Structure formats: C-alpha cells, structure tokens
Amino acid sequence: MQTGSRSFAMMMSIMTAAVGAAAVVLLAGALTTMGSREAAASPKFTQDTGKPCNFCHSKPPELNDQGKKFKANGNKL
C-alpha cells in the first residue's frame, strides 16, 4: 500500500504546484490590468488643434499645466 500512498502524495504535490502557478499567473494578470489606465488623448486632438502631444503632456498620460487648462476649457484652446 505504500506505493499507492507515494503516488497519491506525488499527485497531490504536482496538483498543488499547478494550482499555485495558476494563481500566480492570474494575480499577475489582474495586477497588470488594474495598474494600467486607458489614455484619453488621441491623434484627433493633435489634428484639431495643430499642437503636438507634448503641448498638453510632459509625461503621458499626465497633463501638464497647459493640458489642464485645455481640459478645463472643454478641450478648446
């Protein structure tokens, strides 16, 4: 009966490792998704205003002072 016990223990060890690996992958995916933000800027703003991206952004997606004024003015210069 010891052979059966060893097989069972080995199978449980493999399953535990697989579940742990799956948990790590799921957690990493969730953290990646939660940490990213959708950017609201688009090439359309550049086309409409004639200004380059760095007119409103110094470190995208964060707005610089000019970008904050642009946003507060309803995206109009």
Q: For 2-48, what is each residue's pLDDT tens digit?
A: 567 788 888 888 989 888 888 888 888 777 766 655 556 577 888 88
Answer whether 51's CB lies under 8 Å from 70's CB.
no
> Which residues pair with residue 63 across a beta bridge?
57
Domain positions in the chain are 1-36, 39-77
**57: its two tokens:** 């952004």
> Which residues pair with residue 27 across a beta bridge?
none
Give the whole-angstrom CA distance, residue 4 versus residue 74.
72
The structure's pTM equals 0.45
